[in-house]
Amino acid sequence: MTQLMRRTTLVLTLASAFAAPRLAAQLPAPMSDMLRRLFASREFAPERFGPARWIDGGAAYTTVEPSADLRGGSDIVRYETATGARTVYVTARQLVPAGGAAPLDIDDYTWSADGAQLLVFTNSRRVWRQNTRGDYWVLDRRSGALRRLGGRDAPPSSLMYAKFAPAGDRVGYVRQGDLYVERLADGRITRLTDDADSLHVSGMTDWVYEEEFDLRDGFRWSPDGTRIAYWHFDMTGVRTFLLINNTDSLYPFVIPIQYPKAGTANSAVTVGVVSADGGATTWLQVPDDPRENYLPRMEWAGPREIALQRMNRRQNLDRVMLADAATGAVRTVLAERDSAWLDVVDDLRWLGGGKEFTWVSERDGWRHVYRVGRDGKAARLVTPGAFDVTDLAAVDEPGGWLYFIASPDNATQRYLYRTRLDGRATPERLSPADRPGTHGYEISPDARWAFHTYSTFDTPSMTDLVRLPSHASVRTLAANEALRAAVTPLTGRKTEFFKVALADGATLDGWMIRPRVFDSTKTYPLLMYVYGEPAGQTVLDQWFGSPGVWFRTLADQGYVVASVDNRGTPAPKGRAWRKVVYGAIAVLSSGEQADAVRALTRSRRYLDSTRVAIWGWSGGGSSTLQALFRYPEVYQVGMSVAPVPDERLYDTIYQERYMGLPQENAAGYQESSAITHAEGLRGRLLVVHGSGDDNVHYQGTQRLLNRLIALGKPVDFMEYPNRSHCICEEQGTRLHLYSLLTRYLLEHLPAGPRP
């Protein structure tokens, strides 16, 4: 015992030598109150419209509204698009199960093609990012019968991705990794696959496909409803990562995840076709090693063929293949190549009765829409010009129009355009010229109407129904008046959008928030918000939600808050802008972030170059580490949330897309990893991570801490037990996190101007 006490005393003494000064015990009362309002109440929660569904080709739509008849319930309401005539389509009372007292809580819903059947998703549970597992009920609007799918032996919240067959007579779904079809007339259930276990699933995806290809629902009904095409994942050989839960039981337990880290084995992914009545699967004869290639997209291309996207592991070759559903024979009709990487194309739509399809490519240096023949031999440019298409919004083939989102003159904003499908017209902007900012659209099937959502960095979003192509507003669907009133006192000083010119001629976009009470003759500390990686922009002229209000609250304490998008972020500035970072994603980006700070503090005398902090989350957490380690002369304080300190620890699809394979680019991985440069740390560093993060593993932060300890570098650290990458689970977590960040900033980079 004495020896143990001596050891303990030694450890505590050493720990004290490197411990940070005690953080301020309490935040200033106004700041503490504001944080509670932001992160522990619904005062700043937005009003939402929907979920809404276009029906009758766009002549009407349905949405979910609180029931006036049954407290706590929701009705599904039908609106005539042109007139606004309102009809309660499904009452909350119709959604009360037999023997129950409360109606179903509608997490989501789908109509059958004829509108006679309603599929309700309820009692949902989160699976990694989203609530994709739950209960499904079908309401027959003609008879009023309400029935839960899955059969009597289906456990609660065990069904996934249920959807109607085209005729509306059956529903397909996934249960515990296998595919099923249930006939609605009599409840007969047919099991289509039977090999599911912890390493084999059908009709759903593995962790990395869900995270990086945004692919979850893994099966597709054929147009005639006779067959189902589905993905099958064989995770044998994918290494298991173990999350350790230390708090939810007397003894810790582990949560295993098949997680392929960069350079390691992937799942073998195949696609099969099976009769909806059951029977043997016909496997598509896709060539090459299924572990060294990806199948990120698959859809039916008519009643007899299936269209696939087949990407190689380096993700610089994307082949469009057509497969015969009966024989499994496959042929390549298009091969898209890039010297860096390619993004999966989500905008493949069939034209001319299946003779052509739309395709998005950067082959001329800009992201454009093309029309490609079914044989792949002819490709016609539809959206010519020196600009990027960010999204294909709709195709109106009868009218001859293609609708798309772009912003040729300002990469921080988004607008709706249309052009002729033959590519022979100058694109026409439909979003109003007098409303700069970000416009989003959900266009009706007939392309005559759209749910339109608009916001700016200083103005919360509002949603209205607009008529196309005039863009005339027909009615407001979500005004967000309460939120606008709540934020008005905080947005008195308009956010400044600016540009930073670098020495090599590149121009970076940025935004800046200054205190409402501001004296330009004094100097202020600067807080930079960063992401910096190819997966996202921070400099967008759109409403930022509660974090954006937090930025304003910090500014009013006496900070200038700013953000800059370096090259390599997905701004609509052309292929070269986005892909210049290939193979070394952190090197150029961290340098440009530091150059931007230098340029700002030189050109704006009110910014104090000796008081600069930086913070970010995920890729932004990594960028924060890069900033402090590589440029300690620029930054004095950093707050890194859920970072990837070592690029080799992240998953195959994301990391190899931008860095290549570690076996072929070992030096690039080494140089791009923040942990390699940890000896450069001189300022104050706070690292925050959730120990239950299945995405960016806590393992990386632990390795970083070990490295900093070995170097004798002081570091402040906060673990959130069992929280995932969002650090959002359990009561009080978000409030605690943002309170921590606020206290740390106030303690180590005091707010307020100096003479």
Read off the pLDDT of each residue in 71-100 and give the average, rounded to a whole number.
96
Q: What is the pLDDT of residues 420-459, one digit of tens each?
A: 999 998 999 999 999 999 999 999 999 999 999 999 999 9
Instruction: Give the number of domains in the chain.
Output: 3
Dihedral of CA atoms 28, 34, 40, 43 in degrees, nearest 10, equals: 160
Co-location of 234 and 329 in the same domain: yes
pLDDT at 22 over 60: no
What are the backbone dihedrals phi and psi of residue 728, each rounded to the nearest 5 degrees, phi first? -130, -5
> How far is the C-alpha of 541 from the C-alpha of 102, rounded, in Å?
42
- Asked if residue 265 has pLDDT above 60, the reply is yes
For the segment 258-268, the average pLDDT, to the nearest whole number, is: 98
19, part of any domain: no
The CATH number given to whatever domain includes residue 508 is 3.40.50.1820
Q: Rounded CA gap, 579 and 571, in Å?
A: 11
**pLDDT single digits (tens) 476-487:** 999 999 999 999
What is the predicted pLDDT for the residue at 19?
40
> Are 529 and 517 contained in the same domain?
yes
Give the 3-state secondary structure of residue 408. Answer: coil
271 and 224 within one domain: yes
User: Residue 160: pLDDT above 80?
Assistant: yes
pLDDT tens for 542-579 read: 999 999 999 999 999 999 999 999 999 999 999 999 99
CA distances from 89 to 52, 204, 358 (A): 13, 32, 36
The CB density around residue 328, as the number of other CB atoms within 10 Å, is 17
CB atoms within 10 A of CB 97: 15
Q: Is residue 171 part of a domain?
A: yes
Enumerate residues 6+ apart whose C-beta is below 8 A from 407: 387, 390, 413, 414, 415, 572
Q: 185 and 313 share a domain? A: no
- The answer to whether residue 136 scores a pLDDT higher than 50 is yes
Torsion of CA 643, 648, 654, 660, to 10 degrees: 140
Residues 287 and 173 in one domain: no
Token pair belonging to 158: 């065990």
Q: How confident is the model at residue 25 (pLDDT cuts 50, 70, 90)?
A: low
609 pLDDT exceeds 70? yes
Residue 228's region, left for phi above 0, alpha for psi from -120 to 50, else beta, is beta
Residue 247 burial class via C-beta count within 10 angstroms: exposed 0-12, middle 13-18, buried 19 and up: exposed
Question: Any long-range contacts for 142-146 (C-beta under 8 Å, 24+ apart)?
Answer: 142/116, 144/94, 146/94, 146/95, 146/96, 146/97, 146/98
Q: Give yes or no: residues 148 and 247 share one domain.
A: no
The rounded distance, in Å, linking the Cα atoms of 579 and 330 is 31
Looking at residue 18, its pLDDT comes to 39
Whether 463 maps to a domain, the answer reads no
Per-residue pLDDT averaged across 313-317, rounded? 98
User: What's the pLDDT tens digit per position in 319-338?
Assistant: 999 999 999 999 999 999 99
Distance CA 443, CA 138 (A): 27
Whole-number pLDDT of residue 23: 44
Q: How far apart are CA 379 and CA 389, in angstroms?
A: 17
What is the CB neighbour count within 10 angstroms for residue 615? 24
Mean pLDDT, the chain, rounded, equals 95
Instruction: Say yes or no: 212 and 154 in one domain.
Output: no
Over residues 496-511, the mean pLDDT reads 95
Q: How far is CA 183 from CA 147, 149, 173, 226, 408, in A?
A: 12, 10, 12, 13, 50
The answer on 664 and 679 residing in a single domain is yes
Per DSSP, the three-state class of 567 is strand
Are 258 and 650 a contacting pair, CB within 8 Å?
A: no
- Segment 61-87 mean pLDDT: 96
Residue type, 426: T
Strands across the sheet with 716-720, in order?
A: 496-501, 507-513, 560-565, 524-529, 607-617, 637-641, 684-690, 716-720
Of 468, 479, 438, 481, the C-alpha closest to 81 is 468
- The model's pLDDT over 297-306, given as tens digits with 9 standing for 90+, comes to 999 999 999 9
Q: State the pLDDT at residue 4.
A: 31
Whether 616 and 690 map to the same domain: the answer is: yes
pLDDT at 492: 82
pLDDT value at position 20? 41
- 400 lies in some domain: no
Residue 286 · residue 270 · CB < 8 Å: yes
What is the average pLDDT across 575-604? 97
Same domain, 89 and 211: no
Q: Quote the tokens at residue 384.
A: 């010519």
In a domain, 464, yes or no: no
Q: Model confidence over 623-644: pLDDT tens digits?
A: 999 999 999 999 999 999 999 9
* Same-domain check for residues 226 and 143: no
Calculate mean pLDDT across residues 104-115: 97
In this structure, is residue 122 part of a structural domain?
yes
Residue 501: domain span = 494-748
Strand partners, 270: 232
Considering the chain, what percentage of its residues have pLDDT values greater than 70? 97
Condensed to tens digits (0 to 9), the pLDDT of residues 613-624 reads 999 999 999 999
Give a yes or no: residue 723 inside a domain.
Answer: yes
- 173-222 pLDDT per residue, tens: 999 999 999 999 999 999 999 999 999 999 999 999 999 999 999 999 99
Residue type, position 536, single letter: G
Q: Do 228 and 306 fall into the same domain? A: yes
Domain limit, last residue, from 128, 156, 189? 189
Cβ-based burial of 287 (10 A; exposed 0-12, middle 13-18, buried ≥19): exposed
Which of 313, 337, 361 is the endpoint of a domain? 337
Residue 622 domain flag = yes
Closest-CA residue to 273 (of 320, 322, 231): 231
Q: How many CB atoms lie within 10 A of CB 172?
A: 23
**Span 729-746, pLDDT tens digits:** 999 999 999 999 999 999
Q: Which of the listed residues 303, 318, 337 is the one where a domain comes to its end?
A: 337
